Amino acid sequence: MTPSFSSYLINDVFGDPGVYVEVRWSKRALLFDLGHNDALGPTRLLRATDIFISHTHMDHFIGFDAVLRVALGRGKILRLYGPPGLIDNVQGKLRGYTWNLVDGYPLSIDVREFRRGELHGASFHASAGFQLCRHPPSPLAADDTSDIFSVLTDPMFTVRAVALNHRVPSFAYSLEEQFHINVNKQKLHEAGLPVGAWLKDVKQHIWRGRPDDFRFTATLYDEHRREERDFVLGELKARFLTISRGQKIVYVVDARYDDENEAKIVSLAKGADVFYCESPYLEADAEKARDRYHLTARQAGLMARKAGVRDLVVFHFSPRYTGQGDALEREALDAFRGG
Ligand SMILES: [Zn+2]
Ligand SMILES: [Zn+2]
């Protein structure tokens, strides 16, 4: 099975926190947090259309400029989601530069900030010199009693968020594929059909919710031979595809270990395939971690265990442990595996 999301840390475990998620079958990517991100390079930064910010402490937001720079001059809408105050933060960043020569640029920046029960939005258009344009607020309802709410619903996936206590709200996110589409290559082969880009189109039709009687023409390439074929979506589904459980990725940074945060994190991370969780401190320094509103490696491991995740990735290590990254990882994994 080829997973639809391929995710990884942007930097080393001691570097600025952030996760990059490539979405297969579509040329886009999601970005969690905006710390230093030069390591991604312009192509990958450009592909990021939706960016989710935990909070705007410097190590989570200093990379905004890098994204802006590559996106400038592109016909693109950059969507940013995050904490109360994000619109002001973006406006402040934009005001740091002179914009007299961008009026022909088609870039728009769309900012959505989560306030208590309300989504506040604003746009900044390059063509208008990035002047602030506010949208009327809309209600933001929690999905259930757990305080987790949906922030982006796409035919292929949903992104949910929950506010954690970091002395300021710090948002944790989950990314869940609605379902996964597997292609049976053996059966395709038996039917004399080649694999190739046409299958991406088939997947797109399914993600977009096209009905089973949807008819379309696909271009197939078989050893340099090009052929146009007509298909009915439902028939392809029945013969060559299986639909299974989708992937789930969870991103948690900068939060204190307390009952409320723990309950929210465990509920958000439930059954995740990959759980990215900060673990800046060793348990021996738990008091320091609490004072600084951060987690220890053991706390990250215990929550991963409670949430029954498949994989735990710890990061955002404090520089005080430089050279002891292994100890942080070991402590987290021991707690995760129940050692
Ligand atoms: Zn912070
Ligand atoms: Zn941080």
Model confidence pLDDT, tens digit, residues 252-299 = 999 999 999 999 999 999 999 999 999 999 999 999 999 999 999 999
* CA 215 – ligand 2 centroid, Å: 50
Whether 339 has a pLDDT exceeding 70, the answer reads no
Over residues 293-312, mean pLDDT: 98
Beta strand residue intervals within the chain, DSSP E? 5-9, 19-23, 28-32, 48-52, 77-82, 108-115, 118-125, 132-134, 138-139, 149-153, 157-165, 169-177, 180-183, 215-222, 225-232, 241-244, 248-252, 274-278, 311-315
Nearest to 252 by CA among 194, 179, 175, 193: 175
* CA 31 – ligand 1 centroid, Å: 17
CA of 237: how far to CAs of 58, 212, 244, in Å?
A: 48, 8, 13
Structural fold of domain 5-71+141-178+246-337? Metallo-beta-lactamase; Chain A (3.60.15)
The letter for the amino acid at 210 is R
Determine contact, residues 61/96, Cβ cutoff 8 Å. Answer: no
* CA 259 – ligand 1 centroid, Å: 19
What residues does each domain of the chain span?
5-71+141-178+246-337, 181-244
**H/E run at residue 238:** helix 233-240
Radius of gyration over every alpha carbon of the chain, rounded to an integer in angstroms: 22
* CA 294 – ligand 1 centroid, Å: 8
* CA 122 – ligand 2 centroid, Å: 25
Pick the range with the lowest mean pLDDT from 8-17, 65-74, 305-314.
65-74
Over residues 71-80, mean pLDDT: 89
Residues in CB range of 139: below 8 A, 6 or more apart: 117, 118, 119
* CA 279 – ligand 1 centroid, Å: 12
* CA 57 – ligand 1 centroid, Å: 5
Ligand nearest to the CA of 253: 2
pLDDT band at 326 (very low <50, low <70, confident <90, very high): very high
Ligand nearest to the CA of 315: 2
d(CA 332, CA 83): 28
* CA 55 – ligand 1 centroid, Å: 7
Q: Which residues surround ligand 2, an ion (CB under 5 A)?
A: 59, 254
Model confidence pLDDT, tens digit, residues 215-238 = 999 998 887 788 899 999 999 999
| Number of Cα atoms under 13 Å in the Cβ half of residue 336 | 24
* CA 280 – ligand 2 centroid, Å: 9
* CA 157 – ligand 2 centroid, Å: 27
d(CA 183, CA 195): 9
